[in-house]
Structure 1
Amino acid sequence: MKLTVIGGGSTYTPELVDGIAGRRAGLAVDEIVLVDPDAERLEVVGAFSRRLLEHADHPARVRTTTDLESAADGASAVLIQLRVGGQTARLSDETFPLTCGCVGQETTGAGGLAKALRTVPVVLDIAERVRAVAGEDTWIVDFTNPVGIVTRALLQEGHRAVGLCNVAISFQRRVAALLGATPERVELDHVGLNHLTWVRAVRVDGADRLPELLDEHADALEEHVRLPIGLMRRLNAVPSYYLNYFYDHDAVVARQRVEQPRAEVVSAVEEELLDVYRDPAVVTKPEALAQRGGAYYSEAAVQLVHSLTGGASGERHVVNVRNDGTLPFLPDDAVVEVPSAVDADGATPLPVAPVGPATSGLIAHVAAYEHLALDAAVRGGRDRVADALLAHPLIGQHDRAEKLADELIARNRHFLPWVTA
């Protein structure tokens, strides 16, 4: 099997390669092609990835290239993990909304919209080029944020695509450790949109142990989610840590105004990682990689590709898929993040228990924003940007939406072909 990684020069990539090395019997990959426009960085990551595989005695070979077509030709699956504008653009996303008293974050709010506007046209172009050389049957696994909007864009254009996020698998691993269970025994009732999800049950061998988690592991949950346990008990659910941007907005903004932006932290970690990767004596995954984010990304990606390429039929994965009635209060073409049965034909959402108004209203609100955000990303236009911002629950005031629209466009004009000089 040939696996292509677009954005292969990312410091994430060795995490993925390490996961492949650990699943030698499960995922029969014999070629990994890393493609990236940054040839120098690509070579550093590629050389380290080869050493990882060689140290693990894995037979797959790693090839690096800046040519997308040669990378995708013959691929069974293509993983997209790119960041248009790099950490510089991320820093902008995390800071400019603060001037209007709004959360600065790269996947939600005004910063998330900026990232979507930069990213969606690039990913759609890549997907079309992949389809032209690899054919209609090649799977695209999107790990590029904002995952829900990007996956919806791909599905809207008829691509064979599934969106993947590490939030669910990270939480599964965390609660398995708290409950003294192996991860394979833990199933989550995980529902919502990408970066807007709630865990409503934690089943270990079929028995729901969420009440035990809320009662006996309150401190650990509060530290992880950064929300009070009393709120979780009232919701009878554990929100993803991204929900603190919604449920504790003003406190988050106050912290962000004094804390170092995450983009600066990640940039420093990336430089450290690249220095480690350059050392020919390093043949195993460095501990610093855990600071980069994306915990358990490799496990989630490898397991998903295994299922999509026919290695395991009907395995359960939490993925981003077309709604098609799963959440009846959303349109069919919305993309939801729910447990799904995955095989070579794709991901089919599993039945979801009814979602109450305490969460369904916010889900519907953000889904409507995502519809407008995708429209702005595909068709462009200053007013479409402002309309999407006005619809976002973290903004929702016309004066803020107008100011943020102009600032967003000014900061990202070099990435937006519809912006005139």
Structure 2
Amino acid sequence: MIITLAGGGSTFTPGIVKSIALRREELEVDEIRLYDIDGERQRKVGVLVDWILHEDLGTDIKLTVTTDPKEAFTDASFVFAQMRVGKYAMREQDEKIPLRHGCVGQETCGCGGMAYGMRTIFPMVELIDLVEKYAKDDYWILNYSNPAAIVSEACRVLRPDARIINICDMPIAIIDVVCEALQIDKRDVEYDYFGLNHFGWFTSIRCKGEEILPELRDYIMEHEILLPDSYVKNAAKQGAMAGVKKDGGESGAEQNRHTKGSWYYVWKGVYEIMELFPEYLPNTYLNYYLQQKEFVEHSDPERTRANEVMDGREKSLFEGIDRYEATGEIDESIFYAGSHGDWIADLALALKNDTKARFLVICQNKGAIPNMPYDAMVELPAYIGKNGPEVISRDEIPLFQQGLMMQQVNCEKLLVEGCIEGSYEKVLKAFALNKTVPSIKVAKEVLDDMIEANKDYWPELK
């Protein structure tokens, strides 16, 4: 059993590898391969991964670190894809260019998400072709690469037969926060959800079969935020409470990450949405679409989340690796192992062992939501077995949610068509249709700046 991580130089790689290794018996994994086009960055991450596998956990799992796709993918059963085309330097542009024009600056939503998507579409197709060429016939690509909605739509159009499952861990991160707030065990929780990636709603959350959404709603209204008291108190104790735009970046602890910098307003925004629309629990990313004006006002155009990550998680990880290489001493707080890695490792486990476990996946609608297009890429619960997802259908969704989703679906479809065809007009229409953009004039201004910033990555638009 060979598992390859495409994007092996990611700061999330150590946590994902640890999640795989902790399931080595159920996955029967013999070898983990790291594949990246940035050899030096990946080499450094590989040093930490080697320590995790052989020193920390004492496994005999073979580790291969390579920039050669043939070596990376030959006979692989699973490929975990987590590419970031353009790295954090381009993420910074994705966030700062829209803010200069008064639009939301976010890496997966709005103009920034569309820019990132256009950089990722063709590299993802190239990855699929390489995996198809070298991997086992029954391979699965489990894709974490953002923006997952645009990537999954492009895969549907360009590689419809690829064995790829697109996933996102943000709903799981939200459930983790919910469970911590209500002090319940997430292993006892099951939920219903519908939407698009980074654009959806929890319609039911059950603990041991009992509906807890009303209790959660009361908690959010009382605290005026969806964050556990323990997170807020711990952050305050460390003098790291958010709401300060120029803070020191993310810490190694996951709970601190959610209370710092721009993240604080995301969790605060859940309260502000539910105060007006209390029926469902929104995905936190809906803030950028439903409170675009307020989120622009909260943002610092000179210091966005890209800077927080670069000064926090990125800096901490690579400085920690450098210290380890120099001294032989390891600080485990430099990497985070949790839901992000557990989610994708457990998905692989369900596919391999045909467990029919329930996961949230991004998939072609095919009537699962009756009043959404057949070919829309929606995010829904599914049972996962050896043949892939068995999506759980639901009734028609309310007009408000359907209207928002249709606008976003059409925006993403136009973007993918424009990128594939090299059509400036179609890409401009996608920017103009996006709910985070206030006018067609602003859409054109942002797009023209984005074209200049992405000239080394985007296809030529005519």
% identical aligned pairs: 30
Instruction: Please say if 1:176 is aligned against 2:179.
Output: yes
Give deviations 1:143-200, integer Å, cap 9, x for gaps: 0111111122223312111111111211222222233322111012121110111111
Equivalence map 1:248-327=2 (5 Å): 248-257=291-300, 260-269=303-312, 270-278=314-322, 279-280=324-325, 281-282=328-329, 286-290=332-336, 296-309=339-352, 311-327=353-369
Compared with structure 1, are the counterparts of its residues 155 and 137 closer, same or farther at alpha carbon in structure 2 (3 Å cutoff)?
farther
For residue 87 of structure 2, what is the aligned residue in structure 1?
Answer: 86
CA pair 295-190 structure 1, distance change in 2 beyond 3 A? farther
Q: Does 1:20 align with 2:37?
A: no
Q: 2:106 is matched with which residue?
A: 105
Aligned residue for 1:375, secondary structure, equals helix
From 226, 238, 257, the equivalent of 1:221 is 226
Specify the code of the residue in structure 1 equivalent to 2:320.
V
Deviation beyond 3 Å, 4+ runs, structure 1:
228-231, 280-284
Q: What is aligned with 2:412?
A: 370
The verdict on how the C-alpha distance between 1:230 and 1:121 changes in structure 2, with shifts beyond 3 A counting, is: closer
Deviation, 1:273, is 0.5
Q: After TM superposition, give the deviation of residue 283 of structure 1 in Å.
A: 5.3
Give the Cα–Cα distance (whole angstroms) in 2 for the partners of residues 215 and 247 of structure 1: 21
CA–CA distance in structure 2, aligned partners of residues 136 and 24 of structure 1: 22
Task: Please state how far the C-alpha of 1:369 moved relative to its aligned partner.
Answer: 0.8
Q: Which residue of 2 aligns with 1:347?
A: 389
Distance 1:261 1:228, change over 3 A: closer
1:388 aligns with 2:393: no
Q: Distance in 2 between matches of 1:251 and 1:417?
A: 33
* Maintained 8 Å contact 1:148/1:193: yes
Q: Secondary structure at the match of 1:232?
A: helix
Q: Is the 8 A contact 2:369 2:393 kept in 1?
A: no
Contact persistence 1:170–1:295 (CA under 8 A) = no
Structure 1 vs Structure 2 CA RMSD = 2.0
**3-state SS of paired residue (1:225):** helix
**Aligned counterparts of 1:206 and 1:358: Cα–Cα separation in 2:** 28
1:330 to partner: Cα distance: 2.2
Specify the SS of the correspondent of 2:430: helix
* CA distance, structure 2, for counterparts of residue 206 and residue 282 of structure 1: 46
CA offset at residue 246 of structure 1?
Answer: 1.6
Q: Structure 1, residues 9-61: CA drift from partner, whole Å, max 9, x if none?
A: 11110010111122233322111100111111111111211110112122211
Contiguous gaps of at least 5 residues in structure 1: none
User: Per the alignment, do residues 396 and 252 of structure 1 end up closer, same or farther by CA in structure 2, a change over 3 Å counting?
Assistant: closer
Shift in CA distance, 216/113, structure 1 to aligned 2, threshold 3 Å? closer
Cα pair distance change 1:211/1:282, threshold 3 Å = farther
What TM-score do the two structures reach when normalised by structure 1?
Answer: 0.93
Q: Which one-letter code corresponds to 1:271 in the other structure?
A: K
1:323-371 per-residue CA deviation (whole Å, 9 max, x = no partner) reads 1111222222221111111111111211224321221211111011111
Residue pair 2:419, 2:459 contacting (<8 A) in 1 also: no
Distance, in Å, in 2 between the alignment partners of 1:57 and 1:155 is: 41
Residues 249 and 371 (structure 1 numbering): CA distance in 2 closer, same or farther, change over 3 Å?
same
The aligned counterpart of 2:234 is: none
In the alignment, structure 1 residue 40 sits paired with structure 2 residue 40: yes
CA deviations 1:193-230 (Å, max 9, x no partner) are 10111111111111111001111343242766322636
Letter in 2 for 1:103: V
User: 1:79 Cα deviation (Å)?
Assistant: 1.1
Partner of 1:333: 375
Asked if residue 185 in structure 1 is aligned to residue 188 in structure 2, the reply is yes
Q: Matched residue of 1:254: which SS?
A: helix
* 1:245 and 2:285 are equivalent in the alignment: no
Which of 89-98 and 149-158 deviates more? Answer: 149-158
- The 2-side partners of 1:217 and 1:228 are apart by 8
**Aligned residue in 2 for 1:361:** 403
Tell me: CA distance 1:357–1:419, structure 2 relative to 1, closer, same or farther (3 Å): closer
Contact kept, 8 Å, 1:369 with 1:389, in 2: the verdict is yes
Q: Does the CA-based 8 Å contact 1:2-1:33 persist in structure 2?
A: yes
Shift of the 353–282 alpha-carbon distance from structure 1 to 2, 3 Å rule, reads farther
Q: CA–CA distance in 2 between the matches of 1:384 and 1:17?
A: 40
Note the 1:69-218 alignment, pairs <5 A.
Answer: 69-156=70-157, 157=159, 158-218=161-221
CA contact (8 A) 2:96 2:301 kept: no
Q: What runs of 5+ residues in structure 2 fail to find an aligned partner?
A: 228-263
CA contact (8 A) 2:364 2:378 kept: yes
1:282 Cα offset (Å)? 4.7
How far does the alpha carbon of each residue in 1:301-322 deviate from its partner, in whole angstroms, 9 at most, with x for none? Answer: 100111122x242110011111
What displacement does 1:8 show? 0.3
Tell me if the contact between 2:320 and 2:330 (Cα under 8 Å) persists in the aligned partners: no
Q: Deviations over 1:221-253 (max 9, x none)?
A: 276632263642533111111111122111110
Rounded to whole Å, the distance in 2 between the matches of 1:361 and 1:257 is 31
Q: 1: distance between equivalents of 2:305 and 2:410?
A: 28
SS at match of 1:348: strand
